[in-house]
Amino acid sequence: MAKVISLCNQKGGVGKSTTAVNLAAFLAALGKYVLLLDLDPQANATSGFGLNPHRLERSVYHGLIGGCQPEEIIKKTPLFGCEIMPASPDLAGAAVELVNVSGREYRLREFLQRIRGNYDYILIDSPPSLGLLTINGLVAADEVIIPVQCEYYALEGLSQLLKTVELVRENLGVDLKVMGALLTMFDKRNKLCREVAKEVGRNFPYYVFNAIIPRNIELAEAPSHGQTIFQYQPSSRGAKAYRQFAEELIKFEEKIKHASF
């Protein structure tokens, strides 16, 4: 059964989509079967893989509102072992369309149920809000990873996010865990950046990944070529950091598995 991981932070521009796309690429490069699910109407993860969100016949939107099977939406990517369930801008209307539907928080979870056996990992790229789309992503997930940008307000809003995870667990009856935080856009020459990283290490109540994603221009350029960093600049610092993160994540999973036997 796939481990479903939601990349979540209601703050915008912290590196959720960059992490979703490049983690998917490196997990696949390390031999895992991965589905990247784009749950954001901005569709950055979709275009990051070179797909045009405006030209899709079907997207995760059609899965959420019903009448469509996952296989009809999922597309192969140029990377072996990595598939994508793309988003389109009409996903923005899904929250309104589902407002009177009972069990609306469980739509994605139910939709993914049948294909969970096909992958090792399903990664969900969430929009920058704590609305119904994000809640669907959390309810569908086993674990949450929180990308945290190394900047002054980094920790602000994290307690609200952790509270939301708790509410989802308690009120919606799912077994959802916070796996940890990933520091992104780190600039080691910047004193504030170093202090924020230390502060997160000290005060974040869950695991903080040892892998730290540097601020790296190639990571920002890759999506404009419709490529992951693995394809665009595999020797860049950004690529090395995402590879290290993927390796750490796999090790982390193995440790949990052994601990529970």
Ligand X SMILES: Nc1ncnc2c1ncn2[C@@H]1O[C@H](COP(=O)(O)OP(=O)(O)OP(=O)(O)O)[C@@H](O)[C@H]1O
Binding mask 108-147 for ligand X (x = CB under 6 A): --------------------x-------------------
For ligand X, give the closer residue by CB, 137 or 223. 223
Does position 13 bind ligand X by CB under 6 A?
yes
Where would I find the beta strands (DSSP E) of 8-55? 34-38
Listed in sequence order, the DSSP H helices in 91-208 are: 94-97, 107-113, 132-140, 158-172, 191-203
What beta strand segments (E) does the chain contain?
Answer: 3-7, 34-38, 75-76, 82-85, 121-125, 143-149, 177-184
Output DSSP code: residue 70: H
Least Å from the CB of residue 195 to Mg ion: 26
User: Residue 36 has which token pair?
Assistant: 């990247």
Rounded distance, CA 231 to CA 245, Å? 17
In the bound complex, what is the minimum distance in angstroms from residue 67's beta carbon to ligand X?
27
CB 18 within 8 A of CB 156: no
Is residue 236 part of the contact set for ligand X (CB under 6 A)? no
Region binding Mg ion by CB under 5 A among candidate stretches 15-23, 132-140, 145-153, 166-174: 15-23
Q: How far is the CB of 187 from ligand X (least distance, A)?
A: 9
The window from 75-83, 115-123, 173-181, 218-226 that contacts ligand X (CB under 6 A) reads 218-226
> How many residues sit close enough to ligand X to count as binding (CB under 6 A)?
20
Among 46, 59, 88, 184, contact with ligand X (rule: CB under 6 A): 184
